[in-house]
Structure 1
Amino acid sequence: MIVGIEGTIEKKEPTGVHLNVNGLIYEVFVSLNCSAQITKNNIKLYTTHIIKEDSQTLYGFYDLNEKKLFDTVIKINGVGPKVALAICSTFTPSTFAQIVSANDVTMLKRVPGIGPKQASRILVELSGFIIDGTDENGSSNSNTLEAALALESLGFKKELVAKVLTSCTATDTSGLVKEALKKLQK
């Protein structure tokens, strides 16, 4: 599995780059947001490698939060890589997190290829799910995400976990889990 790629840009298009890595040229599909961030000739991208029966494709991300967004959305039934990349092209991870928390179907319908039914299904699948998107350093939000996943693995409902974690004051993962468990036991 290829999780990252670093090389020199041979060709750049709005939704893809050809990356020369020691003489081997890879085609990497990127979002419009990622493409806009690429300003240098030598770049490093985080990648999601999708292997199918008839193809192998690489999807590249300049920002780790955008990769997490793509990987989360692609797991939803009926959402393929093209729609997931369209979501990444339309919204930043933090904006998408706000859309999910607000359950805003109208905003999600702005993504090319997403109709009202699919928008509703995506929001239902992600309801209560915390997307790490507001902190580019990945500090407190990744801790909140890890705490949410830990609490969900203990059997607590996503909605309840999300509600309790918003009222917690701790910043580290273990502190968040301990504080949330105390509140969940009441």
Structure 2
Amino acid sequence: MIVGLIGKVEKKEPTSVHLNVNGVIYEVFVSVNCSSEIEKQDIKLHISHIIREDSETLYGFLDINEKMMFERLIKINGVGPKVAMAICSTFKPDIFVKIVEEKNVSLLKKVPGIGPKSASRILIELGEFSLDGSTPQLTSAHQEAIMALESLGFKKDQIQKVLQECTACDTPSLVKEALKKIQKI
């Protein structure tokens, strides 16, 4: 697994660079933000190496936070590397953290290829996103319970507060337990 490359830029385009590493030239896909920051010939890129049945692709980042953001995004169901790169190209990591904190669907919809449903799903699945990785991941059951309770008209902060107290593990049980606790509030 390739996790980093140091080399000379042979060719630079808005969404990719050709990087010469000791005589071997790698094509590395980068965000528009990353590409605009590449000014020197000699660079070091943090790499996310994605291996599929039919291809191997390298995604490069000057900023480690952008790499963390990309890798977190591609773990979301329905978000592939192209959409994750589009998000990285549209927002720098610190701005993206604020968008997630504010659950700003309208800003996220500005990313090419993301509509209102995708934007909402991405924001829900990211939960409490931070770049330091200290935030615990929500289980799929918790994510589904959040979506179910939101569709019933409950507020996100109220749902999250109640779900922290719930002990159930599967979605239906979580929703039932959360509904009982919300009624008591």
TM-score, reference length from structure 2: 0.73
CA distance in 1, matches of 2:81, 2:121: 17
| Partner-residue secondary structure (3-state), 1:76 | coil
Distance in structure 2 (CA, Å) of the matches to 1:126 and 1:9: 34
Q: Secondary structure at the match of 1:85?
A: helix
Please list every run of at least 4 consecutive aligned residues from structure 1 whose deviation after the TM superposition is greater than 4 angstroms. Answer: 156-160
Aligned to 1:40: 40
- Corresponding position: 1:79 with 2:79: yes
- Does 2:27 align with 1:27? yes
**RMSD of equivalent CA atoms:** 2.2
User: SS at the partner of 2:110?
Assistant: coil
Deviations 1:58-115 (A, max 9, x none): 0000000000000000100000000000000000111111111111110000000101
Specify every segment of 5 or more residues in structure 1 that has no aligned partner in the other structure, as ranges. Answer: 133-141, 164-186
* C-alpha distance in 1 between matches for 2:2 and 2:98: 30
Instruction: Report the counterpart of residue 126 of structure 1 in structure 2.
Output: 126
Classify the secondary structure of the residue corresponding to 2:10. Answer: strand
Query: Do 1:7 and 1:22's aligned partners in 2 also have CA atoms closer than 8 Å?
Result: yes
Structure 1 residues 79 and 152, CA gap change in structure 2 (3 angstroms): closer
Number of the residue aligned with 2:96: 96
Identify the residue that residue 14 of structure 2 maps to in structure 1. 14
1:127 shift after superposition: 1.9
* TM-superposed deviation, 1:119: 0.5
Distance 2:138 2:18 in 1: 40
For 1:89, what is the secondary structure of its paired residue?
helix
How many matched pairs? 145
Paired with 2:54 and 2:64, the residues of 1 have a C-alpha distance of 28
Deviations 1:19-62 (A, max 9, x none): 00111000000000000111100000001000000000000000
2:180 aligns with: none
Unpaired runs of at least 5, structure 2: 147-159, 165-185
Cα shift readout 1:131-154 (whole Å, capped 9, x = no counterpart): 21xxxxxxxxx3xx33x33x979x
* Seq. identity, %: 60
Match of 1:117 in 2: 117
SS at match of 2:122: helix
The amino acid that maps onto 1:104 is: N
Please say if residues 93 and 131 of structure 1, whose CA atoms lie closer than 8 Å, have aligned partners that are also in contact. Answer: no
The code of the aligned residue for 1:82 comes to: K
Question: Which residue does the alignment assign to 1:136?
Answer: none
d(CA) in 2 for partners of 1:64, 1:120: 26
**3-state DSSP of counterpart to 1:45:** strand
Q: Distance in 2 between matches of 1:96 and 1:152?
A: 19
